[in-house]
């Protein structure tokens, strides 16, 4: 189905269709519905209430730097507005919700001060009210939260058995086929950028990834691996690990930015560098590299090697190939879309740090710009863009025949 994006009404329609499709899949699985999240301020606590169609088990924990409270749930059908949670109440500045892993959903509350989960209980349906999951937060100190973080967590709640592990595709490819890993950024509890019309980056890039996969597989020369094929969250290092486990020859991460200046428009292509090409590139990389933190993950136990992968001499050849790939992509993409004046940029994106896989990050446009978001929401434009990216990949491999069977 094709949409013209002449008004915000079309955005609402597209979002509604996506929500209906997701809801139908959830209904087929029999997932419980979450129909509301409410915050109440009391003299001795902050109360969070989740309205649901059934009794939902929960696991809760706290994090610091910044302060967050995390609720892990079994997989649920979110029947609340996509923009709910952008504002909070009292010490809760806002919250995010969505799929976190197979079989698991997550809600992350952002806090201005340390709070711990003091009490969790359920209220049965009564007087027309649904099931309610009630979580009381009380004031605490950073030291108290740090002490709780050293205690082991119980297993996450799961409805209907244990969740499946994150699939790592291992294609059985012929030597003549190259493997291209496509990484739709964000997902699940991490929506990415949100345009003024309520369009989520995670939705745009997943649609683009599916069309790019189709375009690449059409000629039979490539086997394509998607790091995610649904609205679920993946850690940054998991995205890279999926590409490497699939013996990928290329890694292409898809994103769409949003900034305050709504007149800025156009695509850009990023490759890895220790030094960002400009302040905007540095700021963008910093925002993207916070994805794990946004999803409510504790990074305090990560080693320096994982938290900050060093760029060593062994990576230089891969970085050179990445730059060549970027030039090939831009040459073809310019035929169907507009670029920023400085189209090839450099920054320290975590998802581009595989030492042996040429990698690029494509910013498809700005969700904050009405023209860009309008084009990106049209399947016909995405198909033209996918065909251009596929031609760019063809041109890259044509100049590097020895890449096969590396």
Instruction: List the CATH number of the domain containing 60.
Output: 2.60.40.3500
Q: Are residues 212 and 333 in the same domain?
A: yes
Q: Please check whether residues 255 and 365 belong to one and the same domain.
A: yes
Provide the residue range defining the domain that includes 192. 178-403
Based on the fold, state whether residues 279 and 395 are members of the same structural domain: yes
Lowest mean pLDDT among 103-112, 284-293, 357-366, 394-403: 284-293
| pLDDT number for residue 10 | 40
pLDDT tens digits along 81-127? 877 888 899 999 999 999 988 889 999 999 999 999 999 999 999 98
**Is 303 among the domain residues?**
yes
Would you say residue 231 lies in a domain?
yes
Are 209 and 124 contained in the same domain? no
One domain, residues 224 and 87: no
Whether 21 is covered by a domain: the verdict is no
Q: What is the mean pLDDT of the chain?
A: 83
Residue 259 lies in a domain: yes
Per the domain annotation, does 23 fall within a domain?
Answer: no
The CATH number of whichever domain residue 203 belongs to comes to 3.40.630.40
Number of domains in the chain: 2
Does residue 392 carry a pLDDT above 50?
A: yes
Do 396 and 268 reside in the same domain of the chain?
Answer: yes
Distance, CA of 85 to CA of 109 (rounded, Å): 9
C-alpha–C-alpha distance, residues 245 and 182, integer Å: 13
Q: Do residue 197 and residue 75 come from a single domain?
A: no
DSSP code per residue over 253-296: EEEEE--S-TT---EEEEEE-SS-SSHHHHHHHHHHTTHHHHTT
In a domain, 220, yes or no: yes
- 278 within domain boundaries: yes
Residue 14 lies in a domain: no
Same domain, 286 and 378: yes
Q: Are residues 137 and 215 in the same domain?
A: no
Both 245 and 327 in a single domain?
Answer: yes
Is the separation of the CB atoms in 270 and 203 below 8 Å?
A: no
Confidence of residue 348 (pLDDT cuts 50, 70, 90): confident
Amino acid 108: pLDDT: 95
Q: Cα–Cα–Cα angle for 349, 351, 355, nearest 5°?
A: 100
Mean pLDDT lowest among 196-205, 257-266, 268-277, 343-352: 268-277
DSSP state letter for 402: G
Number of neighbouring beta carbons within 10 Å of residue 398: 9
- DSSP-assigned letter for residue 176: T
Same domain, 226 and 339: yes
Asked if 77 and 123 sit in the same domain, the reply is yes
């Amino acid at each position: 189905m094709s949409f013209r994006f002449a008004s915000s009404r079309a955005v609402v329609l597209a979002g509604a269709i996506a929500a209906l499709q997701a809801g139908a899949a959830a209904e087929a699985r029999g997932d419980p519905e979450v129909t509301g999240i409410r915050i109440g301020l009391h003299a001795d606590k902050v109360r969070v209430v989740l309205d649901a169609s059934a009794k939902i088990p929960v696991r809760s924990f706290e994090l610091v730097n910044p302060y967050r409270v995390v609720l892990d749930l079994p997989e649920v059908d979110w029947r609340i507005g996509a923009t709910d949670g952008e504002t909070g109440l009292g010490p809760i500045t806002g919250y995010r919700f969505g799929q976190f892993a197979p079989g698991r959903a997550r809600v992350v509350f952002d806090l201005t001060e340390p709070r711990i989960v003091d009490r969790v209980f359920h209220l049965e349906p009564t007087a027309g009210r649904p099931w309610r999951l009630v979580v009381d937060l009380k004031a605490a100190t950073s030291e108290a939260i740090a002490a709780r973080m050293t205690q082991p967590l119980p297993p996450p709640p799961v409805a209907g058995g244990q969740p499946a592990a994150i699939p790592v595709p291992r294609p059985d490819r012929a030597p003549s086929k190259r493997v291209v890993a496509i990484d739709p950024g964000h997902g699940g509890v991490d929506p990415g950028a949100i345009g003024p019309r309520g369009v989520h980056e995670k939705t745009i890039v997943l649609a683009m990834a599916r069309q790019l996969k189709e375009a690449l597989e059409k000629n039979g020369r490539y086997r394509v691996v998607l790091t995610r094929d649904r609205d679920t969250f993946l850690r940054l290092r998991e995205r890279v690990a999926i590409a490497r486990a699939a013996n990928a020859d290329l890694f292409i991460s898809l994103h769409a930015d949003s900034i305050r200046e709504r007149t800025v428009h156009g695509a850009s292509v990023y490759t890895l560098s220790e030094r960002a090409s400009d302040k905007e590139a540095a700021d963008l990389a910093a925002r993207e590299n916070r994805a794990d933190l946004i999803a409510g993950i504790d990074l305090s136990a990560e080693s320096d090697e994982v938290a900050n992968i060093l760029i060593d001499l062994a990576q230089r050849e891969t970085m050179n190939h990445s730059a060549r790939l970027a030039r090939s992509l831009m040459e073809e993409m310019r035929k169907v879309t507009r670029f920023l004046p400085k189209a090839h940029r450099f920054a320290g994106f975590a998802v581009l740090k595989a030492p042996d896989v040429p990698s690029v990050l494509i910013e498809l446009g700005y969700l904050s710009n009405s023209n860009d978001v309008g084009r990106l929401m049209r399947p016909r434009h995405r198909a033209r863009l996918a065909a251009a990216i596929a031609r760019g990949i063809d041109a890259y491999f044509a100049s590097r025949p020895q890449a096969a069977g590396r």
